[in-house]
Amino acid sequence: MNETITKDAGNHERLSDTLTRWRYTYWPDHALGEILSKRWMETAIPVVVLLLVAFSLAQVIPNFLSAASLSDTSRQAGEIGFIVLGMALVMIVGGIDLSVGSMFALTNFCALFLMHVLKWPMMAAIPVTLVFGAALGAVNGILIGYFRLRAFLTTLITLIIYRATYELLTADYATAIAGGMPDSEAWDFLGYGDWVGIPVVVYVYAAVALLGHILLTRLRPGWHITAIGGSRRSAYNTGIAVRRTVAMCYVSSGLLTAVGGIFFASRLATAGGDIGVGLEVTVLTAAVLGGISLGGGNGSVMKALVGTLIVLLIINGITSMSLDGGYNRMVLGAILLSAAAIDIRWLKNKHRIVSKVYVSPTYHSIPPAPSTAPDCGTAWALNDRLRNVSAIGLGRIEGPEDVILDRNDHLYAGSRHGDIIRFLAPDYEEMEVFAHIGGTPLGMAFDREDNLYVCIGGMGLYKVTPERKVEKVTDETNRSFSSINDDSRLRLADDLDITDGGLIFFSEATVRFEMHEWATDGLEARGNGRIICYDTNTGKTNTVIRNLKFPNGVCIASDGQSFLFAETWGCSVKRYWFEGPKKGTTEIVLENLPGFPDNINNSSDGNYWMSLVGMRCPALDLAWKMPGFRSRMAKRVPRDEWLFPNINTGCVLKFNEQGEVLETLWDMGGENHPMITSMREHRGYLFLGGIMNNRVGRIKLENVDPNYVQYDKRWGKIK
């Protein structure tokens, strides 16, 4: 447990606090927000609707969910399902295909004509029908994809033309088709056969749906389709072959409709006048019900399937209820209307709802902060020792969160542009971009070969070789099964240190928020961070410690078998043994700090420097014990009015492994060096970094080793 417990006057924890603590420890508030933000949640609503519809119809109609009835429903679902898949593709790319009903009739006719009248073998009739369907779709594709005609109007016109063609053809051949029955058992099997009780069409549909899903989610053409649907012009600008992709979607629609037509032909063998009339409405309803957006750019195979099932169950249910046939159309229309309305509202408001629900503050209690008054008499007493800090690179560098010096005395600092800036010794006037990595460079450390390892917020752990080559070290760790969010990704790698044996321990501040939302993590105070270990010998990454409250600075301790780490919201410093007799244990070194600790680095006398990036204030301390209050605030008040941890002013402190604070350095009034995120001692000077600053600070220290070079001391001088 990382909690410290408030005690009242009689040294007992107050009952109300105990109850709050238990409630917030054991109830997973954060789960709801994380589940809602998963991508498959969008399909969840249609699935719920499907289950509701199936359940209520099963109550009203006897045998509705019997095996035979399900088998029949699935046969129909398979046929229409192919067409819905085609329509889904077209809708995702931003178009619409109203001609599917007529294409269905025409391909049905084609299959019947070939099988019944010309008596072709099935193996020849099927491919020809498929090509025919693709050709019908290609007409739409060329007109809409290449000539850029409007999809609605164009497919409406092809609807009319194809239907007229169908009527002309059936006028001549309908009786011939009705008269001749094909002699093919395989054809009958297609229409009526099943394997292990499941109709053939379901197997084919499952295969096609799986391929479609892989195409849409994993393969490049599928991404292109979604991109074009999202924004056609942007897709064009990025070099996607927009016209060809759009045309191919309409060809697929025709092809898939032909598949449905073939199965329909083998099942019913009818070329009646009303085949496919109004089918486009049913298919559209299915697609929209499943959650595929009419505007484009949003859709999936699963949604198409769920929509198909809902529509079919409703149609079959109404037919089975002996209601007047007209009710069918009315009910479907009403459902389409309400489904479209709900879907649009959900899509528009989803982000707002999720963001309201996602932030889940929890109970966090720390004892009152020790006084830092100038006359308090402890090492915390405010002073002005940083008043004489001089500035390096004033106005020329932005956001140096961490600073480090190499063995040649050159100074390195990250900048918010994603650069590693190097200031050349000895005067640090000349500055250059040592390497450009991207993201937000945070903590840095050198290894024995003088490779510079950097934690990049938003990207992961990177390294820069002495030849200035940038290499990614790791950007993922093992995924824990107890986390709903995908915690194998690194969101905010903060600080690192390297052991003598080549292990790199680095902190990841939070797994629930992206880098720019670090302050919300402070509001939650939930313990979402972890310490991760990358082994340079094996290349493997794994998580070592979990559930830390914004772990920040990491520093290998003097025994080489443990490291110190700071928890910013925990206001504490702890020590973890990764080797030796105490391996796996954690001890508290400093707790109840008056501010928020950031980076920790070695000092020349065997102790440790640490920065406090901000100071605690009573309002936030109290709010941390009232999670209900913070939760209501997050839901009702705009984000920029929330209580945030103060990071406007801080200090540097030196402490030892026994947990004693030896000295502190402040800048009262914040005139010279207001906020400090890290510091490095080098050859008698202390260099200061601050993520909001436009300079690197330097101050001469009294009574320290003037020749101290951090890495020479650890690993000896380079030859």
Partner 1 sequence: MAFVPVAMGFDLAQGWFAGLKKELEPLGVNVISRDPNWSTSAGAQAVTSLISEKPDLMVVHNPDVQTYAKLLRRAEKTGIPVVQINMRSNYDSVMYVGADWVDIGELATNAVVTACQGKSNKIAIVQGALSAAASAYTLKGVENVLAKNPAIKVVSSQAADWDAAKAKGITQTVLKQHPDLCGIVGFWDGMDIGTAAAIKEAGLTGKVFLATSGGGEQKGACDQVKSGGFDLNISYDVPTQASNMASSIKWLLQNEGKTGTAKGSVYTTLIPITKANASVPGTCWKLSQN
CB 293 within 8 A of CB 34: no
Query: What's the rounded Cα separation, in Å, for the pair 435 and 443?
Result: 15
Among the listed residues 592, 647, 649, 623, the one whose alpha carbon sits nearest the alpha carbon of residue 524? 623
CB of 130 to partner 1, least distance (A): 21
CB of 275 to partner 1, least distance (A): 7
Hey, what are 343's tokens?
């879907």
What is the pairing mode between strands 586-590 and 403-405?
A: unpaired
E-strand spans in 428-487?
431-436, 440-446, 452-457, 460-464, 470-474
Among the listed residues 470, 478, 441, 445, the one whose alpha carbon sits nearest the alpha carbon of residue 458? 441
CB 474 within 8 A of CB 488: no
Query: Whose Cβ is closer to partner 1: residue 173's or residue 577's?
Result: 173
Among the listed residues 290, 218, 209, the one whose alpha carbon sits nearest the alpha carbon of residue 44? 290
CB 680 within 8 A of CB 404: yes
Among the listed residues 557, 558, 604, the one whose alpha carbon sits nearest the alpha carbon of residue 707? 604
Query: Whose Cβ is closer to partner 1: residue 274's or residue 427's?
Result: 274
Concatenated DSSP letters for 556-617? E-TTSSEEEEEETTTTEEEEEE-SSTTTT-EEEEE-S-SEEEEEEEE-TTS-EEEEEEEE--
Among the listed residues 648, 649, 615, 689, the one whose alpha carbon sits nearest the alpha carbon of residue 443? 689
Query: Whose Cβ is closer to partner 1: residue 262's or residue 696's?
Result: 262
Query: Whose Cβ is closer to partner 1: residue 219's or residue 334's?
Result: 334
Query: Whose Cβ is closer to partner 1: residue 28's or residue 62's?
Result: 62
Query: Whose Cβ is closer to partner 1: residue 5's or residue 176's?
Result: 176
CB of 341 to partner 1, least distance (A): 27
CB of 254 to partner 1, least distance (A): 20
What is the pairing mode between strands 440-446 and 551-556?
A: unpaired
CB of 110 to partner 1, least distance (A): 16
CB of 319 to partner 1, least distance (A): 5
CB of 73 to partner 1, least distance (A): 8
Query: Whose Cβ is closer to partner 1: residue 282's or residue 604's?
Result: 282
Phi, psi of 426, deg, nearest 5: -95, -10
DSSP run (H or E) holding 623: helix 618-624
Beta carbons within 8 Å of 368's beta carbon, 6+ residues apart: 621
CB of 179 to partner 1, least distance (A): 8
Query: Whose Cβ is closer to partner 1: residue 323's or residue 619's?
Result: 323
Among the listed residues 406, 361, 372, the one whose alpha carbon sits nearest the alpha carbon of residue 643? 361
Query: Whose Cβ is closer to partner 1: residue 62's or residue 295's?
Result: 62
CB of 481 to partner 1, least distance (A): 44
Q: Give 516's DSSP letter.
A: G
CB of 225 to partner 1, least distance (A): 30
CB of 65 to partner 1, least distance (A): 11
Interaxial angle between packed helices 301-320 and 200-218, expressed in degrees from 0 to 180 and rounded to the nearest 10 = 150
Which pairs count as long-range contacts for 484-488, CB under 8 Å and 24+ apart, including other chains? 484/31, 484/34, 484/35, 484/38, 485/34, 485/511, 485/512, 487/511, 487/543
Query: Whose Cβ is closer to partner 1: residue 69's or residue 607's?
Result: 69
CB of 69 to partner 1, least distance (A): 5
CB of 89 to partner 1, least distance (A): 24
Dihedral of the alpha carbons of 578, 548, 460, 575, in degrees to the nearest 10? -30
- Count of positions (residues) in the chain: 719
Concatenated DSSP letters for 132-195? HHHHHHHHHHIIIIIS---HHHHHHHHHHHHHHHHHHHHHHHHHHHHHPPP--HHHHHHHH-EE
Query: What's the rounded Cα separation, in Å, for the pair 48 and 339?
Result: 13
DSSP run (H or E) holding 13: none
CB of 265 to partner 1, least distance (A): 11
Q: Give 27's DSSP letter.
A: S
Q: How many CB atoms lie within 10 A of CB 490?
A: 23
- The b-or-e profile of 309-334 (16+ CB within 10 A means b, else e) is bbbbbbbbbbeeeeeeeeebeeebee
Residues near partner 1 (CB under 8 A) are 62-63, 66, 68-69, 72, 76, 170-171, 174-175, 177-178, 181, 191-192, 264, 268-275, 315-316, 319-320, 322-326, 328
CB of 344 to partner 1, least distance (A): 30
Query: Whose Cβ is closer to partner 1: residue 269's or residue 336's?
Result: 269
Concatenated DSSP letters for 639-696? GGGS-----S--EEEEE-TTS-EEEEEE-GGGSS----SEEEEETTEEEEE-TT-SSE
Query: Whose Cβ is closer to partner 1: residue 169's or residue 354's?
Result: 169
Instruction: Let me know if 471 is exposed, middle or buried by CB neighbors in 10 A (0-12, 13-18, 19+).
Output: exposed
Residue 655 β-bridge partners: 608, 661
Hey, what are 226's tokens?
């979604």
CB of 327 to partner 1, least distance (A): 9
What is the pairing mode between strands 460-464 and 551-556?
A: unpaired
CB of 176 to partner 1, least distance (A): 9
